[in-house]
Chains A and B, each alone.
Chain A
């Protein structure tokens, strides 16, 4: 099926495919299955030893409430898709790391058994997910001893390898990852001293605050941050200070907490190194700027999941990736799109909108439904989301509350005739 040509001396392997999916986590799995349903050849390239991506280490539940109407654990959610993949002839390359991607959709990858792999694809879906923000990236001063980790790395060590990284832990960041790890560490007999959060409110779901912190009497210090890490060979203590409304530490509020481990859960950053190699242009989301087909500025290269925008619910990753996969398949099949607009319509995130996706509308359709994703910059209650073009609010939706940790997804009907070359999106208090 796939053309594998082996040169006599070096180990060079060539594959040709219709759709290449880079990454076999929730985004890649959904994109692959969706592309497959369009009767095209699909390859998934995954660097880990199995499919499932980050879900395999997210052993807690809360996944699938929307997509499956069930409350599943991360591995259960992944397994459902993996089982579907097994029924297809989608080619899966495991233990394979993509090291290059070109604008003409040529992928270079490495695998220890197969060798150096060159894949020629008609279209590509970028599904590489995220990496975590680090201590260094947020400039926490102090020493650099053993015992400083990102929450995700510890999650993998405990949940998949069975290794304990420390005995007494301070966690920075009350997003869901930090909260989940507070509970997980506690259930494995590791003491969690406290969770510090720079915002004045808990960044994760209320449910997680209750079931991960309150259940175990783990103190949550809001408007606090770590201002120093101390210890020579191993972490010995951290200094936690209160912050003002500009997130600057308030002198005199320093408290010392003895610990041997610090977990940083301070945000996710889309992992777009490969995208940049192909010349993909990124947006303020740190992910590619895309059009309504989830296509990047490079025609035939699509993106979905956390590499495109950091998601809070895997259900949305699946729905977004199904679209991207289908679009990539149709691109590979050469299916015609409506004619391209002379000037793309730019979407502009304005009042209390941190970002909006897609960043541009490129094709003329008299009317079409487009799904928009966005996040507010700050929390608010009783608001209305407004889409404005030609000075006219052509779409609005009331929401009872918005918070940066929750993505807003809206399906909006666009009548091209009613649009100028830009759409402004606001989240404002409703009257």
Chain B
């Protein structure tokens, strides 16, 4: 495969900056498409990241990110006052590091918002200073009760 711009960029990433050690390895599956390529990642002697097994650009990107700093979308519910339901489904508008998920959940669990809410409303701005917002997944009207 010809080396693309992105691949050249990947070469410049230093795994040591992500807390990885030289020689560290990991085998995992790509989730981008149904081919489910078997990826393997390894940290080279210069701290460079070697990814093998990908069949496309997106696979390389996913593999690199998943190895260095796995990210996930946060999905949960939040207490809401006076709504038609007692909890509102919320999500992070961007992915955040997997190792921050439980901390993020703890924060969200302490919140209580009030109806009415519109889908997309930003409920928590810049969660944990990660540049990620927590937004409402739906409208929620005020309960008639």
Min CB distance, B136 to chain A, in Å? 9
Q: Are A159 and B77 in contact (CB under 8 A)?
A: yes
**Residue on B with the closest CB to A183?**
B75
Chain A residues 181 to 227 lying within 8 A of chain B, measured CB to CB, are 187-188, 205-207, 210-211, 215
Q: How far is A60 from B72 in the complex, measured between Cα atoms in Å?
A: 12
Q: Which residue of A lies closest to B74 (CB)?
A: A187
What A residues does B138 contact at CB under 8 A? 52, 56, 75-76, 78-79
Q: Beta-carbon contacts of A155-166 to B below 8 Å, as 1s and 0s?
A: 000111110000
Check B97 for interface membership: any CB of A closer than 8 A.
Answer: no
* B16 CB-CB contact with A under 8 Å: no
User: Contact partner of B91 among A50, A61, A188, CB < 8 A?
Assistant: A61
State which of A73, A188, A207 has its C-beta within 8 Å of the C-beta of B89.
Answer: A73
Q: Is B113 an interface residue (CB 8 A)?
A: no
> Which A residue's beta carbon lies closest to that of B36?
A206
Does B139 touch A at the CB level, under 8 Å?
yes
Residues from chain B with Cβ under 8 Å of A160 in the complex: 85, 87
Q: Who on chain B is nearest to A60 by CB?
A: B75
The answer to whether the Cβ of B21 comes within 8 Å of any Cβ in the partner chain is: no
Contact between chains at B77 and A59 (CB < 8 Å) = yes
Q: Which residue of A lies closest to B29 (CB)?
A: A206
Q: Which residues of the partner chain A approach B84 to less than 8 Å between Cβ atoms?
A: 49-50
Q: Does B45 contact A (CB under 8 A)?
A: no
Q: Which of B28, B91, B101 has the most CB of A within 10 A?
A: B91
- Interface residues in B16-51 by Cβ distance below 8 A to A read 28-29, 31, 34-36
Interface size on A, residues (CB 8 A): 31
The answer, yes or no, to whether A406 is at the interface (CB within 8 Å) is yes
B137–A75 contact, CB under 8 A?
yes
A8 vs B30: C-alpha distance when bound (angstroms): 67
Contact assessment for A187 and B31 in the assembled complex, using a CB-CB cutoff below 8 Å: no
Give Cα distance in the complex from A73 to B34, angstroms: 21
Interface residues of chain A: helix, strand, loop or mixed (majority): helix
A103 to B138: give the CA distance in the assembly, Å: 37
**CB of B83, distance to nearest CB on chain A (Å):** 11
Given the known A-B contacts A76-B119, A162-B77, A187-B76, are A206 and B31 also in contact in the complex, defined by CB atoms under 8 Å?
yes
Q: Taking the complex as formed, is A112 at the interface, i.e. its CB lies under 8 A from any CB of chain B? A: no
Give how many B residues have a beta carbon under 8 Å from the other chain's beta carbons: 25
| Interface flag for B130 (CB, 8 Å) | no
- A211-B72, A406-B34 as given contacts; A73 in contact with B91, CB under 8 Å: yes
Do B34 and A401 touch (CB < 8 A)? yes
Closest B residue to A205 by CB, please name it.
B31
Closest to B102 in A: A187
* Cα–Cα distance between A52 and B137 once the two chains are bound (Å): 13
State how many angstroms separate the Cβ of B33 from the closest Cβ of chain A.
10
State A52–B119 Cα separation when bound (angstroms): 14
Chain A residue contacts of B79, Cβ below 8 A:
162
Measured in the bound complex, the distance between the Cα atoms of B118 and A185 in whole Å is 26
B89 engages A59 (CB within 8 Å): yes
Kindly state whether residue B126 has any CB partner on chain A within 8 Å.
no
Cβ-based interface call for A3 (8 A): no
Closest chain-B Cβ to A148's Cβ sits at a distance in Å of 24
A75-97 CB contacts (< 8 Å) to partner B? 75-76, 78-79, 82
Bound-state Cα–Cα, A73 to B98, Å: 19
B131 interface residue (CB < 8 Å to A): no
| Contact assessment for B72 and A61 in the assembled complex, using a CB-CB cutoff below 8 Å | no
Min CB gap B86→A, angstroms:
5
Which residue on B lies nearest to A214, using beta carbons? B28
Judge whether B72 and A215 touch: CB under 8 Å: yes
Bound together, the chains give a CA A116 to CA B56 distance in angstroms of: 59
Shortest C-beta distance, B14 to chain A (Å), equals 25
B137 contact set on A, CB distance < 8 A: 59, 73-76, 79
Give the docked Cα–Cα distance between A185 and B101 (Å).
Answer: 14
Instruction: List the B side residues contacting A5 at CB < 8 Å.
Output: none
Question: Within A38-85, which residues are at the interface with B (CB < 8 Å)?
Answer: 49-50, 52, 56, 59-61, 71, 73-76, 78-79, 82
Compute how far the CA of A207 lies from the CA of B70 in the bound complex, rounded to whole angstroms.
13
Task: Let me know if A161 and B89 touch, CB within 8 A.
Answer: no
Q: Beta-carbon contacts of B57-99 to A below 8 Å, as 1s and 0s? A: 0000000000000001101110100001111010100000010
From residue A369, how far is it (CB to closest CB) to chain B in Å? Answer: 25
Distance of B34 from chain A, by nearest CB (Å): 6
Which residues of B approach A to under 8 Å, CB–CB? 28-29, 31, 34-36, 72-73, 75-77, 79, 84-87, 89, 91, 98, 101, 105, 119, 137-139
20 contacts between A and B (CB under 8 A): A50-B84, A56-B138, A71-B73, A73-B75, A74-B137, A75-B119, A82-B139, A158-B77, A159-B87, A159-B89, A161-B86, A162-B87, A187-B101, A187-B105, A188-B76, A206-B34, A211-B31, A215-B72, A401-B34, A406-B34
Q: Which 9 A-B pairs have the closest CB atoms?
A: A75-B138, A59-B89, A207-B31, A75-B137, A162-B87, A73-B137, A162-B86, A79-B119, A206-B36
Q: A49-B84, A187-B101 known; 13 other A-B pairs, CB under 8 Å?
A: A50-B84, A59-B89, A73-B89, A73-B137, A75-B138, A76-B119, A160-B87, A162-B79, A187-B105, A206-B29, A207-B31, A211-B72, A400-B35
